[in-house]
Structure 1
Amino acid sequence: MKLCLLPALASERDTSSRHTVPTPRWFGSGAKWAVLLLAACSPSAASTPDGQAPGPGPGPVAGGPEQVAHQVVTVVDDLSNPWAVAWLPGGDMLVTERPGRLRIVRDGTLLRDPVEGVPAVRARGQGGLLDVAPHPDFAGNRLLYLSFAAQHDDGGASTVVVRGRFENDALTGVEEVWVAQSRGRDHFGSRIAFDADNYLYITAGDRQVSPRGGLSELAAHPAQDLSTHHGVVVRLHDDGRIPADNPFVGQEGVLQDIYSYGHRNAQGMAFHPETGDLWLNEHGPQGGDEVNLILPGRNYGWPVVGYGVNYGSGSRIHVGSHRDGMEPPAHYWVPSIATSGLMIYTGDRFPQWRGSMFVGGLAGQQLARLTLNGQTVTGEETLVRRQGRIRDVRQGPDGLIYLVFDRPGMVARLEPGAG
């Protein structure tokens, strides 16, 4: 049984480059500020295709982001396609490598031997060992969570999340917490986050099911189907049980663990440490990367609405950029920077950046800083350019900003300095 939303088609279509989308409800106006390291700020220009009237555009921002001197310093290198980083209470840093290894960085040194007990993964295409997250009560229960692409007997693969006890540099008692009910080639999603009440959130991508056709065909895409895990965020108890207050609990034909849907391939997700807001970024196609504020039960529109175009041909995917019943992004990029990794900074090493959102870019090879005013994105600054494909962005326990570079395979950090 397929359950899809088919709200009224919007008439406007806006393809402005990199900006915030205002709406009457809780999104405000904003503008794109692209800033090279220690360079002057300048607002972006908007454009509309084919003589169409412009959609709702960004308003002016009162002043650009404040320039802060910083430098990128290598922490560890010689990694093989690292995907995520996390810290344990004792100070050890864990790094996942997509071929299936979990590595330990202790006292600034990458240990030679990977962690034992990691499950076998399907390390092909975009699959492999992906995210890692310690339980919020790790100091007491030693539980460590991993997401990865798992091989099925029929040759397919799904996103899987497991947990095990991490002791003596090994993982034991590994058990499945969640298995996605979706198959496909790539787009595994796989980010993990815990909220303040220890509920577990997981992203699952649309599995690279190509969108085709008009409204009826796009609305039948698996990312609009609540009976599958294509393009969703799920919410679980820490042991995999489904919370009774999930938005679709009790609805027939719907997967009860779904929290939000209509996503493409979300590879960055984080809770704002101070407000509790859940933020997510989505890797778009050729254009249309998004930052979204995630609300329970909401439809985020992929592939019915959006700002992306097909790879290569540049042909239109969507039937518009706005539609009743589908949430607009808080911010988007055209062309795509290939977003991956998201973090809200609350440290004291860069006090001018407190409260900012940081988003990594893979193909764009950049780190974007987005300024926030409540739930509104008000500006953008580019801090790192052309130093590699940024897969993950995290705040370390030392208050510095850590970057995981897929290529070159390394972990680096931003430190205060001359740049």
Structure 2
Amino acid sequence: MYQSHNIQAFPVFSFFVFLLISSSFCSTIQLSYGAYAKAPRSPYGPTVNDDTLTVEKVTDNLDIPTSMAFLGPNDILVTEKTTGKVMRILDGLVMPQPVLDVPVASLIERGLLGIAVSKNIAEGKTYVFLYYTESGDGIDESDANNLVDPLGNRLYRYEFVDSRLINPVLLLDLTAIPPNTRGEHNGGKIRIGPDDNVYLIVGEVGGHRTQAQNVFDGPAPNGLGGVLRISQDGGIVDPDNPIFGDGLPLNVYYAMGIRNSFGMDFDPLTGNLWDTENGPDTGDEINLVFPGFNSGWVQIQGYEDDDLLENEASEANLTEFGNSEYADPKFVWDTTIGITALKFLNSDKLGKEYQNNMFVGDINNGLLYRFTLNEDRDNIFINDTFVGDIDSLDDNEINDPKENQPIIFGQGFGGITDIQVGPDGYLYVSSYSGSLYKILPVSESTTPKNQPNLTPQNTTLTNQTVSAVILGIDGDDSYSPEPIEIRAGQTVTWHNGDTISHTVTSGQDGDLDEGILFDSDAIIPNQDYSLTFDTPGEFDYYCIYHPTMVGEVTVSGPDASTSTSEDSTDEESDEEDG
């Protein structure tokens, strides 16, 4: 049974804007919680939809890993979100001491977020670039625990020497203070481009509304909401021909109008940059990012003609700087999945059919998606190597979550935070749950191949257990039966029969007490959540990912001395935690 938790309010923070690039080489509120519920790992382990491939666990001993980078074969650096530690994994073993420990603010999406490695052959140095939300008082999580404002979202360059990261150089310092009081949308992925420059993708940090977010009369761009590009020593790339305009911060923007992103990578065949972008409650995107790309936020999300934001905005409503230009995304989910990492497999080690394919992860469902590109590699093309209803994907849009099926390559990973290709040519996937996995051929594996388990977790139903099914996003027909009618003391077990994650959360969207009585967290496809009701009454519930999904449990007598058995659920959770 999945653990339950209570939803809590987050503290309020003050607002300021601060941007610095060093001239010497650039030395209690109520939230919608759907964006912050993470898919758990499958209890049966992750699987992939190819009988010739398998998933091996590299380690479980990480604390909320966010990004990874390879120093060499079987030698990986991994960033941990809330500890501020950069851990080293050698031959599958997590080294007891971190190579670096920095003080981080950690509220919601703040933390140690991005890493990239660059080996400077000429100088004989290995540079490691880190992006993190730096604590305001040198203490981890002081923003969440003591209301201490963070110093900023900062990009540093270090040198890797004798298993340590030394000689930090501050390259970028961006505000981490959000106007909406929430520590969200900090972005964080770093990539070294084919041009050897450093690319950093940054979100709009909790609702900043500048001209970089396409607000005509807003403040000037402040370095947020885009892809920033600098040289490895922090200099301006091609200062005589800036993309968006002269002067800081315009001359470090490579792209703007981006709401938030947890993934980007360069196509190994063309050198083109692609990214993922998170929509608010609609319009998760995959984009082809060119110099001067304007992704459209806050005016446009998803395809321009679809008007998913229902504001009747068009390209004419966007701000213009230098050589900026809007372009529609290349793929869109109308219902958000919490899209995260993106990586091209520049290897044939998983089979020629997967070479140079694009792999994408999500946080809500723990799913790994596969995409192929067209011949010119400037658009996504779902070809005949996919199985299922590929005709519904002709428009490169998921209008109904069930259309996801053909592009699902793997499942059960838990919320995916990063995807990388190792020097061995295999695909590596990190999970918010603390695990790191490797996808490789069965013939190269030393562990048995996991098989998908599509049966409910509860194998024995008694007269004390009532079975229910989560059908999908369909208003008050989303859960079946509806309402669920039971006697006090009986247990309801919900089975997720949909293709994406859902929750069973008490109350309704926007209620001050939503999630207080019970909250399943994410129930991934084909998994269960059980809860015993001991007190008569009517209990409304809904899905925090998809608030239009609503249901009710009606509990009749006899009366009991306790209310919904959240206490017993908590005791079970404590036992599991212990």
TM-score, with normalisation over the residues of structure 2? 0.55
Alignment match, 1:122: 105
Aligned AA for 1:342? Answer: L
Report SS of the residue matched to 1:352: helix
1:251-304 per-residue CA deviation (whole Å, 9 max, x = no partner) reads 6x8632111100011110111122100111112222211111111122110120
Structure 2 residue aligned with 1:98: 81
Q: Percent identity?
A: 27
Q: Which amino acid aligns with 1:395?
A: V
Q: How does 1:128-167 map to 2 (within 5 A)?
A: 128-137=111-120, 140-152=124-136, 155-156=149-150, 158-167=152-161
Cα offsets for 1:69-88 (capped at 9, x unmatched) = 32221101121100111111
- Find the aligned partners of 2:91 and 2:208 in 1 and give their Cα distance: 45
Task: Measure the CA separation in 2 of the matches of 1:289 and 1:371.
Answer: 18
Structure 1 residues without counterparts, runs of 5 or longer: 1-35, 39-66, 309-314
2:409 to 361, 383, 389: 383
User: SS state of the match for residue 332, structure 1?
Assistant: strand
* Structure 1 contact 189–265 (Cα < 8 Å) conserved: yes
Q: Does 1:78 align with 2:44?
A: no
Matched, 1:282 2:277: yes
**C-alpha distance in structure 2 between counterparts of 1:345 and 1:90, whole Å:** 16
Alignment of 1:341-356 (within 5 A): 341-350=341-350, 351-356=352-357
Q: Distance in 2 between matches of 1:321 and 1:347?
A: 41
**Structure-2 separation of matches of 1:235 and 1:210:** 20
Asked if 2 retains the 8 angstrom alpha-carbon contact of 1:182 and 1:228, the reply is no
- TM-score w.r.t. length of structure 1: 0.75
Q: 1:58-104 CA distances to partner (integer Å, 9 max, x unpaired)?
A: xxxxxxxxx66322211011211001111113641111111211111
Inter-partner Cα distance in structure 2 for 1:190 and 1:226 = 22
Task: Please list, as runs of the form range in 1=range in 2, the aligned pairs for 1:318-397 lying within 5 A after superposition.
Answer: 318-320=310-312, 323=315, 325-350=325-350, 351-373=352-374, 374-379=377-382, 381-397=407-423
- The one-character-per-residue Cα deviations of 1:121-157 (angstroms, maximum 9, x if unpaired) are 2122211111111114278212111111123477145
Q: Name which of 194, 197, 201 aligns with 1:196.
A: 194
Which residues of structure 2 form unaligned runs of 5+?
Answer: 1-46, 138-147, 317-324, 383-405, 443-448, 452-578
CA distance 1:156–1:273, change in 2 (3 Å): same
Matches of 2:149 and 2:221 in 1, distance apart? 22
Relative to structure 1, the CA distance from residue 221 to residue 97 in structure 2 (aligned partners, 3 Å threshold; closer, same or farther) is: farther
Distance in 2, matches of 1:90 and 1:413, equals 13
Q: Distance in 2 between matches of 1:227 and 1:247?
A: 14
* Counterpart-to-counterpart distance in 2, 1:334 and 1:68: 31
Q: Does 1:317 align with 2:343?
A: no
Provide the secondary structure at the position in 1 that maps to 2:124.
helix
Q: Which letter maps to 1:159?
A: N
**What is the alpha-carbon distance in structure 1 between the residues aligned to residue 284 and residue 165 of structure 2?**
35
**Helix, strand or coil: the match of 1:164?**
strand
Q: Which amino acid aligns with 2:315?
A: R
Query: How far, CA to CA, are the matches of 1:416 and 1:393 in structure 2?
Result: 17
Taking the aligned partners of 2:379 and 2:200, their CA distance within structure 1 comes to 24
Q: CA deviation at 1:219?
A: 4.1
Residue type at the aligned position of 1:347: S
Return the offset for 1:166.
1.0
Partner of 1:229: 223
Q: Distance in 2 between matches of 1:413 and 1:90?
A: 13
* Counterpart for residue 187 of structure 1: 185
Cα drift, residue 203 of structure 1: 0.8
Are the counterparts in 2 of residues 182 and 229 from structure 1 also a CA contact under 8 Å?
no
Matched, 1:172 2:166: yes
8 Å Cα contact 2:302/2:328 also seen in 1: no
Residue of 239, 244, 247 corresponding to 1:248 = 244
Whether the 8 Å contact between 2:366 and 2:412 is mirrored in structure 1 is yes
Q: Which of these residues, 407, 412, 416, is aligned with residue 437 of structure 2?
A: 412
Partner of 1:87: 70
Alpha-carbon distance in structure 2 between the residues aligned to 1:299 and 1:92: 37
- Structure whose CA Rg is larger: 2
The residue type paired with residue 382 of structure 1 is I
Show CA shifts across 1:345-385 (max 9, x none): 11121221112101110012101111111111012620122
Correspondence for 2:204? 206
Distance of 1:385 and 1:210 partners within structure 2? 35
Aligned counterparts of 1:398 and 1:290: Cα–Cα separation in 2: 30
Judging changes above 3 Å, is the alpha-carbon distance between structure 1 residues 125 and 250 closer, same or farther for their aligned structure 2 residues?
same
Does structure 2 retain, via aligned residues, the 8 Å contact 1:405–1:411?
yes
**Distance in 1 separating the partners of 2:111 and 2:288:** 28
Q: Which stretch has the larger CA shift, 377-386 or 319-328?
A: 319-328
4+ residue runs over 6 A deviation: none
DSSP 3-state at the match of 2:77? strand
Instruction: Name the structure, 1 or 2, with higher relative contact order (CA <8 Å, separation 6+).
Output: 1
Cα separation, partners in 2 of 1:385 and 1:199, compared to 1, 3 Å = same
Could you tell me whether the CA contact under 8 Å between 1:304 and 1:318 is conserved in 2? no
Q: Distance in 2 between matches of 1:171 and 1:133?
A: 13
| Aligned-partner Cα distance in 1 for 2:172–2:422 | 27
Aligned residues: 341
User: Structure 1 CA distance, aligned partners of 2:310 and 2:301?
Assistant: 6
Q: 1:159–1:204: 8 Å Cα contact kept in structure 2?
A: no
| Correspondence for 1:401 | 427
Return 324-333 or 98-107, whichever deviates more: 324-333
Q: Is the 8 Å Cα contact of residues 307 and 318 (structure 1) preserved in structure 2?
A: no
Distance (whole Å) between structure 1 residues aligned to residue 119 and residue 310 of structure 2: 39
Looking at secondary structure, tell me which structure has more helix per residue.
2
- Write out per-residue CA displacement over residues 168-216 of structure 1, whole angstroms, 9 at most, x where no aligned residue: 11111111111124632221111111112211111110112188xxxx9
Match of 2:290, SS?
coil
The corresponding residue for 1:312 is: none
C-alpha distance in 2 between matches for 1:151 and 1:167: 25
CA distance in 2, matches of 1:401, 1:104: 18
Q: 1:336: Cα distance to partner?
A: 1.3
Which residue identity does 1:241 align to in structure 2? G
Judge conservation of contact 2:176–2:186 (CA < 8 Å) in 1.
no
